Amino acid sequence: MPDTVTLPDRIEVTRPIDAPASAIFDLLRRPSGHVAIDGSGMLQDFTGEPAEKVGDTFVIHMDREALNDVPLGKYDVTVHIIAFEQDREIAWDLGPDVPYPHFYGYRLAPGEGGVTNVTSYYDWSKVTGAARERFPVVPESAIRATLGILDRTLRSGR
């Protein structure tokens, strides 16, 4: 399985994690989990409950200063769950809070030796016009770091 796939409008990074898909998925459906594993440094806090299905939402309190690219400072986004397949896939977009239609997600698949292959993906294929030049907003290194933090978080039992 490839480690990283980079297309003109999508990044996918895969990492084997020695944890059951159910434990990984449970962390990924929680707003607290998003904040805990964020490798970009932008996610600061949250409001809301864990996702249970497509259509659920929660709020993430952001700080764009971590990327030092656009002077947005602190702001909130509403995570809109657009895919929810228990222990297999979860994805979300930021709905009307962000004027550029991009989305994020995770796919979980059984790996060799009982590990779970976790693929984090980031897609901006529907962004058009001059705004497209600003993408990807989140670099591959932050996506890769998030998977490392996810692994560490699950091993530490948090």
Concatenated DSSP letters of 117-136: EEEEEEE-TT--GGGGGG--
Residue 44's domain comprises: 4-156
Burial degree of 104 (CB within 10 A; 0-12, 13-18, 19+): buried
C-alpha to C-alpha distance for 54 and 40, rounded to whole angstroms: 25
Residue 1: predicted pLDDT: 44
Please give the structure tokens belonging to residue 19. 């944890």
- pLDDT per position as a tens digit, 123-151: 999 999 998 988 998 999 999 999 999 99
User: 13: domain CATH number?
Assistant: 3.30.530.20
Residues forming beta bridges with residue 43, ordered by sequence position:
62
- pLDDT per position as a tens digit, 36-82: 999 999 999 999 999 999 999 999 999 988 877 777 789 899 999 99
Residue 83: predicted pLDDT: 98
Q: ∠ CA(140), CA(144), CA(150), 5° rounding? A: 145
Structurally, the chain folds into a number of domains equal to 1
2 has pLDDT over 50: no
